[in-house]
């Protein structure tokens, strides 16, 4: 076992400040832009190439993101590329658990000032081979978590493809089971939508058929390690999928009508990304909690007696809808969505039997996603339990 020593963090790494890149100056490209919220877009230029760690630089030491390649660290973040002989992945995991272990006389991580961070005394295993072993074990868990996330992305992709095929291209199954439009199904021009739609279908404003239930407000003291699951803004990925690791746990007061059920649809109504990436995005609540969850004030539940939750999930996460609704979000540091914008959205109103058939196809996809999410939840708990034990030398690898 490599010897554990207290060292000055600045003797292990050197934090640098990221680079400004306004949304108006971003150009589509292959290089991720990494901010305090992770990847928040892509650009055709990069500022850093190689192994690195990126974290937020406002408030407190934020979530850590490991990257190995070409990227643009945003000016809302700090990044590390100089590891002074230490294993980069080991340093990433060490930084990831700084908020959970006592590193010096202080029990909490100080504010993100580079000079203060560099002066922190942190426990570090000095043996480089042991550093690599620790990084290998934790990386294996992260690799499985990432694999599961890709599986769920594929399952989500199946639902999206079916949605596009049926409700964008209008090749839903006709009475004979053949693709409607491709098989010569009758199409009529709709002046409101300015496009042809299947005969017998209509147009509508969403507000005619949907309703909203807003989430609860909370104080930081209401959030603890355990409690009632609280779906919040961090529960949304940039593409709309549910992030189980973003769940918070609420210990304040609430009413039973605040609780949600499996299969309910939730939508993000605030956003802190610069490009309004998350605002308006939605997901269906999976059966992955031991008790009914709550939603925070950053989230609203959507109900409808006509549209199914899976149909609305795909609609809300579609590019065309997102390009529309993000202009109803306003604010400086935090964007807030005007729900009137959602209500005013004009869309096609499919036949009810086709809507019901689509929902039936999506139910087994959700069941498969639930299995994968539950496994990831267990893997994340194992990793987060093991992480500080390895970093403080309480668990040994041979």
Residue 161, SS3?
helix
pTM to 2 decimals?
0.83
DSSP for 11-71, written as a single string: GT--EEE-B---GGG----SEEEEETTEEEEEES--SEEEEEEEEE-SSB----EEEEEEE
Domain housing 265? 148-376
Q: 280-316 in b/e burial notation, b at 16+ Cβ within 10 A?
A: bbbbbbbebbeeebbbbebbbbbebeebbbbbbbbbb
Q: Examine the pLDDT at 74 and tell me if it is beyond 80.
A: yes
Whether 81 and 49 map to the same domain: the answer is yes
pLDDT at position 103 is 42
Of 79, 82, 81, 88, the residue nearest 128 (C-alpha): 88
pLDDT tens, 140-190?
Answer: 999 999 999 999 999 999 999 999 999 999 999 999 999 999 999 999 999
| Whether the Cβ atoms of residue 210 and residue 303 lie closer than 8 Å to each other | yes
Q: How far apart are CA 47 and CA 13, in angstroms?
A: 19
Number of domain units in the chain? 2
- Shared-domain flag, residues 100 and 166: no
Those residues whose C-beta lies under 8 Å from the C-beta of residue 186, and which sit 6 or more positions away, are 198, 199
Same domain, 118 and 152: no
Asked if residue 330 and residue 206 are part of one domain, the reply reads yes
Q: Looking at the structure, do residues 366 and 305 belong to the same domain, yes or no?
A: yes
Look at strands 202-205 and 346-349 and give their pairing.
antiparallel
The mean pLDDT value for 237-255 works out to 90
Could you tell me if 305 and 209 are in contact, meaning their C-beta atoms sit under 8 angstroms apart? yes
Task: Establish if 398 belongs to a structural domain.
Answer: no
Interhelix angle 309-316/128-163, nearest 10 degrees: 110
* pLDDT reported for residue 396: 80
Output the domain CATH number for residue 199. 3.90.220.20
Summarize pLDDT for 99-147 with one digit per residue, the tens.
655 444 443 444 467 788 888 888 899 999 999 999 999 999 999 999 9
Q: Considering only 1-5, 346-350, 387-391, which range has the smallest mean pLDDT?
A: 1-5
């Amino acid at each position: 076992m490599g010897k554990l020593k207290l060292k000055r963090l600045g003797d292990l790494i050197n934090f640098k400040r990221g680079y400004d890149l306004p949304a108006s100056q971003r150009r589509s490209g292959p290089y991720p832009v990494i901010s305090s919220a992770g990847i928040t877009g892509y650009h055709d230029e990069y500022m850093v190439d190689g192994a690195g760690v990126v974290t937020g630089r406002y408030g407190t030491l934020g979530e850590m993101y490991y990257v190995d390649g070409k990227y643009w660290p945003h000016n809302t973040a700090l990044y590390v590329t100089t590891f002074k002989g230490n294993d980069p992945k080991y340093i990433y995991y060490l930084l990831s658990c700084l908020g959970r272990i006592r590193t010096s006389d202080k029990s909490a991580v100080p504010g993100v000032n580079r000079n203060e961070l560099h002066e922190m005394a942190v426990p570090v295993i000095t043996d480089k081979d042991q550093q690599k072993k620790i990084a290998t074990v934790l990386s294996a868990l992260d690799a499985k978590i990432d694999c599961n996330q890709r599986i769920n992305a594929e399952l989500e992709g199946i639902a999206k493809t079916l949605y596009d095929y049926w409700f964008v291209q209008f090749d839903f199954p006709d009475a004979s089971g053949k693709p409607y439009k491709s098989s010569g199904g009758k199409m009529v021009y709709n002046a409101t939508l300015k496009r042809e739609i299947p005969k017998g279908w209509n147009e509508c404003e969403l507000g005619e058929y949907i309703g909203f239930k807003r989430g609860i407000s909370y104080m930081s003291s209401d959030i603890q390690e355990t409690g009632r699951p609280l779906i919040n803004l961090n529960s949304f990925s940039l593409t709309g999928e549910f992030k189980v690791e973003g769940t918070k746990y609420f210990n304040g007061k609430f009413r039973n009508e605040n609780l949600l059920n499996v299969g309910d649809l939730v939508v993000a109504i605030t956003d802190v990304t610069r490009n309004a990436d998350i605002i308006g995005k939605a997901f269906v609540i999976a059966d992955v909690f031991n008790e009914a969850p709550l939603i925070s004030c950053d989230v609203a539940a959507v109900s409808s007696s006509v549209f199914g939750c899976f149909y609305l999930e795909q609609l809300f996460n579609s590019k065309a809808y997102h390009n529309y609704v993000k202009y109803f979000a306003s604010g400086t540091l935090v964007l807030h969505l005007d729900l009137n914008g959602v209500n005013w959205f004009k869309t096609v109103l499919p036949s009810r039997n086709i809507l019901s058939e689509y929902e039936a196809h999506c139910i087994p996809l959700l069941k498969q996603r639930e299995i994968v999410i539950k496994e990831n939840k267990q893997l994340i708990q194992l990793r987060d339990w093991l992480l500080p034990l390895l970093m403080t030398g309480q668990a040994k690898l041979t």
